[in-house]
Amino acid sequence: MNTSTRGWGRADKTWHDAAGIHIDVRGLAAPAPLVAIVSLIESIGDATPVIVHHDRDPVLLYPELAERGWVAEPLAGEAGEVRLKLQRVR
């Protein structure tokens, strides 16, 4: 698992599995989750999906995904978790 510090003393976590690259941004204040997720998808050169683990619906993220040709699909998550699968569509 990788941890990168963004903002003031908080960190997002990323890891890989068969489903894709996971990023956990729970507990981060806005706009850190947005920046972390956009930064991750911009670093991906192929069609690898990204699984986002969030504690709220990331409403600010959708326009940024649209600008980059990515879409979000909701997945079942843990209680209190919002889990999304992000995929490149163009």
Task: Kindly list the strands in the beta sheet with 20-24, ordered across the sheet, starting from the edge strand earlier in the chain.
Answer: 2-6, 10-17, 20-24, 50-54, 82-88, 70-75
Nearest distance, CB of residue 84 and other proteins, angstroms: 6
Of the candidates 87, 32, 69, the residue with the CA atom closest to the CA atom of residue 54: 32
Nearer to other proteins, 2 or 39 (CB): 39
In terms of phi and psi (left: phi > 0; alpha: psi -120 to 50; beta: otherwise), the region of 45 is alpha
Nearer to other proteins, 46 or 67 (CB): 67
Nearest distance, CB of residue 46 and other proteins, angstroms: 20
Binding residues (CB under 8 A) for other proteins: these are 6-8, 29-32, 34-35, 38-39, 42, 56-57, 59-60, 62-64, 66-67, 71-74, 82, 84, 89
